[in-house]
Structures are given as C-alpha cells and as structure tokens.
Amino acid sequence: MSRIADIATALPGYDAADLSVEAVHAFLRQLTAQAVVAQQESVTLFDALGRVLAEDIVSPISVPPHDNSAMDGYAFDGALLRPDAPSDASITLRVAGTALAGAAWRGALGAGDAVRIMTGAMMPAGLDTVIPQEFCNVEGDRVRFPAHVLRRGDNRRFAGEDLMQGQPALRKGERLSPAALGMVASLGLPGVNALRRLRVAYFSTGDEILSLGEAPREGAVYDSNRYTVFGLLTRLGCEVIDLGLVRDDPATLAATLQRAAREADAIVTSGGVSAGAADHTRDVMQQLGDMAFWRVAMRPGRPLAVGLIPRAIPHEPAPQPALLFGLPGNPVAVMVTFLAFVRPALLRMMGCHETACAPPPLLRARSTGPIRKKPGRTEYQRGFVKPVAGTLPEVTVAANQGSGVLSSMVEANGLVVLHHAQGSVAPGDEVDVMVFDGAI
C-alpha cells in the first residue's frame, strides 16, 4: 500500500470526494512528519531573519549582566523609606556623584547619600532604589522628594532579570523574528546554527494563461498566480525556484515535475487539478507519484491535490520524495488554500516546532451584516476588520466573493472563517477572522 493510502486508511471518516478542512490538516501533519529539513548551516544575524534554529541557544551570560537603573533619577538606600511616615513626609539626601551607563561608579558613600543615575547605569553598591528625576527638587548637592511616591526596590533592574547565564534563550525549531534577532545579539552572539532553507519549486499551468509581456488574446488571462505564490513563499522564508508557466502538454508537464522534484523539497502548482477535459496536470501527477486528489468541503478552493513525487538525485541513494501541492487555478482559491494548508505544512517541513505550524491565529469580531452560509463546509470570506473602542472589532465581508476577484483580496485585511458546522450569521454575531498581517 502507498504512503498516501496508509495515511488515508488511518483517518476516521476519510472521503476524498468530501474531505473536511480538519481532516486535511490531520492528513498533512502525518505526511510532513518525515519530511523535515535536516541539514544545518551557520548564518550571521543579518542573514538569520525567518530562519529556523537547528539547536537551542543557551545564554552564555546573564542579561542584564548587573543590577541597573530603569530610570533617570537618583539611587539611594530604600531602607530610608518608612511605611509609618506621615503622608506629607519627604526625604532629603546628599548627592555624592553621578553614575553613567557603561561604567561602574567607584565613589564613596556615606549614610544618607544618593547618587544621580542614568537609565541603564550600574546600581552603586549598597543602593537599591531609584527615585525618578521628575519627582525631585534639587538644590546644590541636595535632592528632596516625597517619601510616598515609591517603595523600596522600585526602578531597579536585577542582573539576569531577562535571562540568566546557562538558561535556554531560544529553543530548537524557533523561527527567528526581529525580536529574536535582538535577543541573540544581546547575548553577544554574532550568528546562529539554522536549518537550511526549504527549497520550493512552483509553476502555473494552463493554455489559457498568458505570461507577462505577451499580447492579450481572446479567452486568455495573465498569470497572476505565479507572482502571488512567489510572494507567499518568499515571505515564508523559503528558497524559491521559479519554473514559470507550463502549457497543457503532458510531456512538458512531466518533465517540469521531474525537474522540480530533483531541485526542491516541495512543489506548488496552480491549476489543472480538477477533472476538466484539458486538465492534464492531474493525470501526469498520478503517473509520476503517489497522489491524492480531494474535493475539500470548503469555499473557495474545493479541488486540491497532495502527493509525493520520487526524486532522482545524484549521490543520494534514497532521497525523500518531494511533497507536491496542486492548488486550484482561481487566484483567490490559490491564496486561501495556501494559507489554510500549504503554509502550515511548509513550516513543519522547515523544522518549526508544532505550535508555530498552525494556521494564522483567529481574531473574534462582530459582523456588521448578515452572511449566508450552509452547514457542511468551511467558508473563507474576504473581510474588512476595523477596531471599535471598548468592544470587539467589527468586520464587514466584501460584496463580491468570487474566487477570481483579486481586487477584494487586495483590499481586505482578513478572511472571515465560517466553520464546517456553522450556519448563517446575523448582524452583530461574533465570527472568527484570520488576519492577513505577516502571512499574505
């Protein structure tokens, strides 16, 4: 039995002609479990954005390395603060010097002395509290401030408060964000060990598709999917291999798929996976690999193909097959199926830990109008989310939800996700929204 068939047999209620979104996710989790990139490489921080850590990063130092001030103000011994002091009590201290960031203050302190201190400067020995300068009245070498505006220990950052030496700072499988780059730099590390980038080949199919630069012709449309998929893969951090536009010729399709399997870990195609008379892509895929062709209970994006294409790679006796995603041809359906299924699967193949491989998180919002929906399929409707002070955001769905209407996808900032068992939505009802930011 094939690997695809093995997984399908183990899935409760598997029906290729009517597959739920949840069943697709379960299938892909199993299919990608053995397809994770293994090769590692050392990269500098300037090249590490979006890369996946190949090993834990253990902090070689404590961050911060010393107790320091969180404010510009005056450091003093907090024991001078008396809880039983009158409400109008004030404290007056002698200013013994100034502590600047970047160097330890080495002056001598007497009883009742304070040190003027800058944000980030090391706390002088014996001092544990900082009064912000805006509360202070300074006359000569004396500083006076109200006693009840702070408590002992206020505005002091402790050594190791962010990270202690020897503590894991980032875990294997973490995809490095701008904040993570800053954290690594704060440890004094110039680079990281990362998994190599996932290689993904992609191409569009169809005789009705025009490449950019071709003259318009009756019945033909320009290829938008090629550029959309390029953007989605690039934003995800993949190494993209553009194989262009492939005509509806079985021999050319077969050669392109075989080349893609040699060069890439995964393949993304658009168009040709339905049962149309000229959709040769489906037949060629079936001849070359271990394939599943689904009709997913969703809108848009009903036809979907997933499978494995064998790889013939010199000097590799038994390489892992390339994972193939055959997406629908309609532009909006391409984006929806990519976000719902392909993106989580590729993140898993990239080596991300499982929590990072979920589809984009869902935001709760109130629908401004009615939305018609029949139970029995998952729908992804383009929507416009806007914040509302003091309550949930509001979302309005686009008037035209056609799967070829790219303009509404450009204007929208999220997808209203109407779940499989969900029915119609009334104005004011709460719905889930998949927000685009960072994903599309």
Annotated domain spans of the chain: 3-39+196-357, 43-49+54-63+161-194, 68-157, 362-435
Class of the 3-39+196-357 domain?
alpha beta
- Comparing CA positions, the residue from 288, 322, 328 lying closest to residue 305 is 328
Do the two domains 3-39+196-357 and 68-157 of this chain adopt the same fold? no
Contact 176, 350 (CB under 8 A): no
Contact 138, 120 (CB under 8 A): no
Assess contact for 288 and 236: CB atoms under 8 A: no
Helix axis angle, 250-263 relative to 280-288, nearest 10°?
A: 50
For residues 418, 422, 423, 429, the Cα torsion angle rounded to the nearest 10 degrees is -70
Query: Exposure of 426 by Cβ count < 10 A (0-12 exposed, 13-18 middle, 19+ buried)?
Result: exposed
By the 8 A CB rule, do 54 and 351 touch? yes
State pLDDT tens for residues 247-265.
888 999 999 999 999 999 9
Retrieve residue 434's tokens.
């998949």
What is the per-residue pLDDT for 406? 84
Which of 342, 330, 340 lies closest to 303, judged by CA? 330
State CA 431 to chain mean position distance.
22
Q: Is CATH 3.90.105.10 the right assignment for the domain spanning 43-49+54-63+161-194?
A: yes
Superfamily in which the 68-157 domain is placed by CATH: Molybdopterin biosynthesis moea protein, domain 3. (2.170.190.11)
User: Which of 415, 51, 414, 406 shows the shortest CA–CA distance to 227?
Assistant: 406
Judged on CB neighbours under 10 Å (0-12, 13-18, 19+), 405 is: middle
- Taking only the tens place, the pLDDT of each residue in 298-340 is 999 999 999 999 987 777 777 889 999 999 999 999 999 999 9
Please give the pLDDT value at position 311. Answer: 85
Q: What is the pLDDT along the chain (440 residues), one digit of tens a residue?
A: 589 999 999 998 899 999 999 999 999 999 998 899 999 999 999 999 999 999 999 999 999 999 999 999 999 999 999 888 888 899 999 999 999 999 999 999 999 999 999 999 999 999 999 999 999 999 999 999 999 999 999 999 999 999 999 999 999 999 999 999 999 999 999 999 999 999 999 999 988 888 888 899 988 898 999 999 999 999 999 999 999 999 888 999 999 999 999 999 999 999 878 765 456 788 899 999 999 999 999 999 999 999 999 987 777 777 889 999 999 999 999 999 999 999 999 999 999 998 888 877 899 999 999 999 999 999 999 999 999 999 999 999 998 888 878 888 889 999 999 999 999 999 999 999 999 876 66
3-state secondary structure of 414: strand
User: How many CB atoms within 10 Å of residue 131?
Assistant: 26
* Cα–Cα dist 375/362, whole Å: 20
CATH level 3 topology of 362-435: Beta-clip (2.40.340)
**CA 356 to CA 170: how far, in whole Å?**
14
Distance CA 359, CA 336 (A): 11
Q: For residue 240, count other CB atoms closer than 10 A to its CB.
A: 20
Predicted pLDDT at 85: 83
Burial of 4 (0-12, 13-18, 19+ CB in 10 A): middle
